[in-house]
Amino acid sequence: DAGITQSPRHKVTETGTPVTLRCHQTENHRYMYWYRQDPGHGLRLIHYSYGVKDTDKGEVSDGYSVSRSKTEDFLLTLESATSSQTSVYFCAISTILAGEETQYFGPGTRLLVL
Amino acid sequence: QQPVQSPQAVILREGEDAVINCSSSKALYSVHWYRQKHGEAPVFLMILLKGGEQKGHEKISASFNEKKQQSSLYLTASQLSYSGTYFCGTEVSGGSNYKLTFGKGTLLTVNP
């Protein structure tokens, strides 16, 4: 399963509060990604990382920040949660599957912002 | 740019075939296909890298056209387990950091 976990798996929070989601991997993968998934939009890239302390923005990065202080952890922070950030958040790593370089997804975090 | 998937949804009876298309306005380096069951994470199916490539196993296969701007996923003799949402993820030529842009998905329902 490429050793990738996400925490928490479910979270309910209130508008205006900060929220941090964690993605943890155990296999020393260099590339990590955060996506959000909403009905009718598919998977959209929020931020990604190409190494420790090396991160860059994706297509829907407003209102989100990330940090990667060690290889195994990639944190996504919603600085002041809004109802529009209610979504399912997936972390992914770039890895070799069936002999090909592709992305493997974690189990997801369901976030509800009230 | 987000690739365009068609159709948005398809309903089949067990044993029928389906084709899902993924189109880009730009030349692509690769196309990755995933299937997602409700409430679960997307699961990798296959990747296509070369123009004109066709690959797959048994009843699920895919092609990548010569111009590398369109890919199709073929599901033959569908089974109930094929139900789910299918996504294509594309990597543009000259891209970096293995970034993928995903289509909006095609919902496939297979009924008995």
Beta strand pairing call for A109-113 and A10-13: parallel
Section B2-16 average pLDDT: 96
pLDDT of residue A52: 94
pLDDT tens, residue by residue, B42-95: 999 999 987 878 888 779 999 998 788 999 999 999 999 999 999 999 998 777
Percent of chain B with pLDDT over 90: 72
- pLDDT at A1 (0 to 100): 59
Low-confidence ranges of chain A (pLDDT < 50): none
Q: What is the mean pLDDT of residues B27-36?
A: 93
Within 8 A of A101 by CB-CB distance, chain B residues are: 47, 98
Predicted pLDDT of residue A111: 98
- Residue A112: the pLDDT is 98
CA atoms of B51 and B48, how far apart (whole Å)? 8
Reply yes or no: is the peptide bond before residue B7 cis, omega within 30 of 0: yes
How many whole angstroms separate alpha carbon B32 and alpha carbon B47? 4
Q: What is the pLDDT of residue A97?
A: 76
**Which candidate from B40, B100, B103 shows the least CB-CB separation from A103?**
B100
Q: How many contacts (CB atoms, under 8 Å) link A and B?
A: 54
